[in-house]
Amino acid sequence: MSLLIRGGEVVTGRGRQRADVWCAGETITQVAPDLPAPPDATVVDATGKLVLPGFIDPHVHAYLPLTTVTAKSNFANCTRAALLGGTTCLMDFAGAGREKDFDEAWAAWSAQADGQASCDYAFHLMVRRFDSELQRQLERLVARGLKSLKIYLAYKPALAIPDEDLLRILQFAAANGLVVMAHCENAELIPFLQQQLLAAGKTGPEWHEPSRPPMVEAEGVCKFLTFAAAAGAKAYVVHLSCAEALSMTDRFRDKLAQLNIETMIQYLTLDQSYAARPDFEGAKWVLSPPLRTKADQEALWQGLADGRIDTLGTDHCPFDFHDQKTMGRGDFTKIPNGIAGVEERMALAYTAGVVGGRITLERLVQVAAENPAKIFGLWGRKGGIAPGFDADLVVWDPAARRTISVQTQSLDTDYNPYEGFAVQGAPEVVTVRGAIMVRNGRFCGPTGKGRLLM
């Protein structure tokens, strides 16, 4: 099996060139102009198109069974939507707080993904407590290639990690070179503010943001990075949403051996006015951290452009409006948190970021492909276009235009949070390890091709 992508403009984080990309089997073997096409090769004409590395989403919940509700997602539909959006590799989190230990969580997520995922995937391991038995399980996973852990400061008692366990897991991570990712919001302040608001009759979705304001996130960032600095661990702040939290990270840049910051496409393109839409419709845009102000959006774009923010993900976690988001009618604290995004991320980022003049295309490739690969130990296989890398490629039509709508999305959820957004740029052909998974913007690959990356 061989594939030649011919005549496109190849873009990496370091620049662009007119070149053909030759893939033998699952691997890129040559990148050079005017390569000859052997008679048995599949040839994709990329004339007038961009050839980009398959994008990586470092933060996705393809499967998420929470205590009271399960996200309306599975590995089959999530990875199909991701591929349709140009993402060829996603990272989920093994564990959601209900499993008895790491082995059970790992087995559950592996079983969900195996034979269902159409793109490649990795797992971060969710940690909410740490003891000697868990340490033995963790050591076995690290020996198999686990690179990253995830902890929550918020969501007490289901998910939040106690301080003593946090310090122990950070020390273990430092000793083993693992990246520790953290959801940074203060666990005590959120329920306190929620109860204050509810007692004052402030029960609608527009009160979700005031219940977890920027200072609550900035305090979480400060606490996590203080602990990480003390333990000497590599720290990764997930889904940073606002200027106040971003400036807090700046105080720690000289205190940590490795500090990476992630933001999400929703914080760059949506703002808190969405959650204030009348008749409870705002519940469609309830997620945590909450959507912020337009000024926060610009601060995040600036952080992506100047290098203070390293990665761009989605925190994809879809729910239906009817029957799921409506669980919180009359009490915003009961609205399931999360929105979809894997199908829309790259078109939105290309439109608002590149066409909008806020970041270069090379920078977009860095934050949505190269950096996730480098941070999580996949560089050399994923995120680049060079001999030896997996043949995960996107032929991107920079001129394609469409309007995002629930009518045309691939997911089976009953709304799209970006309904009505006009976007430019679309993946025309998407490959995973040399196999064409999307052609002419339609999914055509085999379900279940995806592999667990360790």
> Applying CB under 5 A, which residues contact Mn ion?
183, 315
Quote the CA–CA distance of 41 and 391 in Å, as a whole number.
Answer: 14
The residue (of 242 and 438) whose beta carbon lies closer to Mn ion is 242
Q: Residues 27, 388: contact at Cβ < 8 Å?
A: yes
Question: Least distance to Mn ion from the beta carbon of 154, Å?
Answer: 8
The residue (of 231 and 240) whose beta carbon lies closer to Mn ion is 240
Beta bridge mates, 430 = 394, 438
The residue (of 57 and 370) whose beta carbon lies closer to Mn ion is 57
Question: Least distance to Mn ion from the beta carbon of 315, Å?
Answer: 4
Q: Residues 318, 391: contact at Cβ < 8 Å?
A: no
* Burial class of 119 by CB neighbour count within 10 A (0 to 12, 13 to 18, 19+): buried
Sheet holding 179-183, edge to edge: 55-57, 87-94, 120-126, 148-152, 179-183, 234-240, 259-264, 311-313
The residue (of 58 and 445) whose beta carbon lies closer to Mn ion is 58
The residue (of 183 and 433) whose beta carbon lies closer to Mn ion is 183
The residue (of 6 and 183) whose beta carbon lies closer to Mn ion is 183
Question: Least distance to Mn ion from the beta carbon of 240, Å?
Answer: 11
The residue (of 264 and 378) whose beta carbon lies closer to Mn ion is 264
Question: Least distance to Mn ion from the beta carbon of 339, Å?
Answer: 11
122 CB-near residues (< 8 Å, 6+ apart): 89, 90, 91, 92, 147, 376, 378, 452, 453, 454
- Which among 308, 310, 264 is positioned nearest to 290, based on CA atoms? 264
Question: Least distance to Mn ion from the beta carbon of 159, Å?
Answer: 9
Q: How many CB atoms lie within 10 A of CB 250?
A: 12
By beta carbon distance, the residue nearest Mn ion is: 183
The residue (of 23 and 154) whose beta carbon lies closer to Mn ion is 154
Question: Least distance to Mn ion from the beta carbon of 27, Å?
Answer: 32
The residue (of 315 and 428) whose beta carbon lies closer to Mn ion is 315
